[in-house]
Amino acid sequence: MVVIMNDTLHHKDRRRHWRIIVPLLLSPLLAGAMDPPHVTNNCASCHITHNSLGNNLTAVAGNANLCESCHMSGGSASTLPFSESDQALAWPGLPSNILQGGSSHRWDSGVAGHVSFRHGALTSSTGRVLSGGVYTGAYPKAYSVVITNAGNAGTARFSWSPSLGIGGGTNILTGTNVPLNEGITLTFANGTGSSFQVGDRWNIYVRTDIRSPTLSNLLTDANGQVTCSTCHDVHSQIYAPFDTNAPAYTGPGSGSGRHYLYASNNTEQMCVDCHVARAVTNSLSGSHPVGILITTGLLYKTTTVLPLEKGTGAMGCMTCHKVHYAPSTDGNLARMTNGLAMCVECHLLADTTTPAAHFRATDPLTLWPGGQYGSTFPQRTNSADRGTCVNCHHPHGWPISTNTAVHYPKLLLDLEEGVCFTCHDANGPATKQVQLDFGKAIHHPVVNSDPLRHPGRSVECIDCHNSHKAQFGSHVYSSTATATRNTITNAPSLIGTDGISVNYTGLGNFVAPAP
């Protein structure tokens, strides 16, 4: 290969070497070293030895474009098609006019996020906007960039604002590595004519807790973005995937059914390399635990539907997430379309079958209205989220607004009383309003800043109420003991409540009190 590209060779020598190299490129012996289903007798279907359009002598420019030239409807790999719209665009942090979506891990993003041209001007800009730097912010978000004065880079001006969090700027001069905030910069690259037109806009989507890959086999492109070949080696299936159904690798040509990986991922080494901040074993670290064994007990059970790590049986990132072709198309890459059903594959605490009041999927009131007591977690508007766990919990945690280095405990969306008050106040969706009661002279000191709150004497909402089992209408008090009357008088409903251990074997409802 090196000899062929050496332009100092005599013309006759070049022709001689070409005659030698072509049979080698097309040789079945050479192709036999590749693993199926990419085994081919024609390397030229992907590679061109001279005047190639892309790097690595590829026949198509752009790594993802080369893969998609086969992995498309009507292509030679049409059974596994990809399109740009498959790339995940996950909520929260999106602008209000952008919908979440996607069933595949992105192949055009990195620590500086990814850029999407939104148009807007009558005459479209020919210039490009590139993001740079490393995003250091606490919240996932999108920078909205709008051209306010036309011209080329160095003359045109722009304004920007975030979809979530702090920042913003107006009348800023375009150029190279222009800083926005929280580690992100923009470079404006000229096109033809007047490159940037007034009204044209771009969104730069950034996510938290991502780093560039450090494993030697996993490389990004020149702009620091992951591509298909960051994770996938199209020639070899030697490295073990997470997939528990993948066959063993016994040598070249034996790897059909594996995943063409550039490094082993059987214990999610590749996932953790970029998403190391999510690789925690305790939710106190601000994310759902991974790498742990789930044993069946009072509050948990071992899943029979979701996959576990092959060989260890531990729960991992890919227990809940699927990298490509996720059944869920909301950008979360979840393995199940029903989020509540996926949670209760392991968690037994909640009554989701009766169901308890907070898990009534038909009730429009069981949808997070947006933080009102300090939390910045935005309003949920997707009706599919009604009555699901995500109205109180975020699987990967949410930073405390007053100290974003720390996450709310138990993966909650706010401090505990803030979660309750957000719905159970005068403006909340819940019909039972209780927040005003805690401003009265005599009240339980549930709020952390309450002057009456003392160590050993504090009372949290969940010290008396079990939000996972409270039944609809359970606050209707009568002189007759029923299974739904007042959640704190029904012993089974206290299971899982902090500081309380209930042995309710043989216990019926408590005896009705005197009138």
**pLDDT digit string, tens, across residues 36-71:** 888 766 788 888 888 888 878 888 999 999 999 999
- In angstroms, the CA 510 to CA 365 distance is 30
- Does residue 320 lie in a domain region? yes
- In angstroms, the CA 480 to CA 382 distance is 39
Shared domain for 331 and 430, answered yes or no, is no
User: Which residues are bridge partners to 315 per DSSP?
Assistant: 292
Shared domain for 132 and 169, answered yes or no, is yes
Residue the block writes with tokens 């037994």 = 348
Q: Mean pLDDT throughout 211-227?
A: 91
- pLDDT at 76 > cutoff 50: yes
206: enclosing H helix or E strand = strand 201-206
Shared domain for 323 and 393, answered yes or no, is no
Q: Helices then strands (H, E): number in the chain?
A: 8, 10
Of residues 17 and 512, the one with the higher pLDDT is 512
The whole-number pLDDT of residue 460 equals 82
- pLDDT at 13 > cutoff 50: no
Confidence at 23, pLDDT banded by 50, 70, 90: very low
Q: Dihedral (C-alpha) 208, 387, 88, 215: value to the nearest 10 degrees?
A: 50
| DSSP assignment of 45-76 | GTB-SSS-SBGGGBSSSSHHHHHHTTSSTTST
CB neighbour class for 92 (10 Å; exposed up to 12, middle 13-18, buried from 19)? middle
* Lowest-confidence region among 157-166, 265-274, 477-486: 477-486
- Does residue 431 lie in a domain region? yes
- In angstroms, the CA 414 to CA 392 distance is 8
The whole-number pLDDT of residue 461 equals 85
Rg of the chain taking only CA atoms, in angstroms: 28
DSSP helix/strand/coil, 382: coil
CA distances, 33 to each of 236, 254, 443 (Å): 8, 10, 75
- Does residue 466 lie in a domain region? yes
Total number of domains in the chain: 4
513: tokens are 């009190």
Do residues 117 and 133 make contact, with C-beta atoms less than 8 angstroms apart? no
460: tokens are 């949290």
Do residues 156 and 147 make contact, with C-beta atoms less than 8 angstroms apart? yes
- pLDDT at 261 > cutoff 90: yes
Residues with Cβ within 8 Å of residue 457, at least 6 apart in sequence: 445
Give the rounded percent of residues in the chain with a pLDDT score beyond 70.
Answer: 84
Shared domain for 325 and 380, answered yes or no, is no
Shared domain for 359 and 505, answered yes or no, is yes
Q: Residue 503: which domain range? A: 350-515
Average pLDDT, the chain: 86
The whole-number pLDDT of residue 297 equals 87
Do residues 319 and 308 make contact, with C-beta atoms less than 8 angstroms apart? yes
pLDDT tens-digit readout, 361-402: 999 999 999 999 999 999 999 999 999 999 999 999 999 999
- Does residue 170 lie in a domain region? yes
* Lowest-confidence region among 225-229, 345-349, 392-396, 474-478: 474-478
The whole-number pLDDT of residue 31 equals 43
Shared domain for 492 and 509, answered yes or no, is yes
Shared domain for 509 and 483, answered yes or no, is yes
Shared domain for 307 and 386, answered yes or no, is no
Shared domain for 343 and 434, answered yes or no, is no
- Does residue 6 lie in a domain region? no
- Does residue 443 lie in a domain region? yes
- pLDDT at 26 > cutoff 80: no
- In angstroms, the CA 122 to CA 52 distance is 36
Confidence at 511, pLDDT banded by 50, 70, 90: very low
Of residues 368 and 15, the one with the higher pLDDT is 368
15: tokens are 């022709």
Shared domain for 424 and 299, answered yes or no, is no
Last residue of a domain, one of 348, 377, 397: 348
- Does residue 258 lie in a domain region? no
- Does residue 202 lie in a domain region? yes
pLDDT tens-digit readout, 276-296: 999 999 999 999 999 999 888
pLDDT tens-digit readout, 158-182: 999 999 999 999 999 999 999 999 9
Confidence at 484, pLDDT banded by 50, 70, 90: low
Do residues 250 and 256 make contact, with C-beta atoms less than 8 angstroms apart? no
Shared domain for 37 and 182, answered yes or no, is no
Shared domain for 33 and 127, answered yes or no, is no
pLDDT tens-digit readout, 395-432: 999 999 999 999 999 999 999 999 999 999 998 999 88
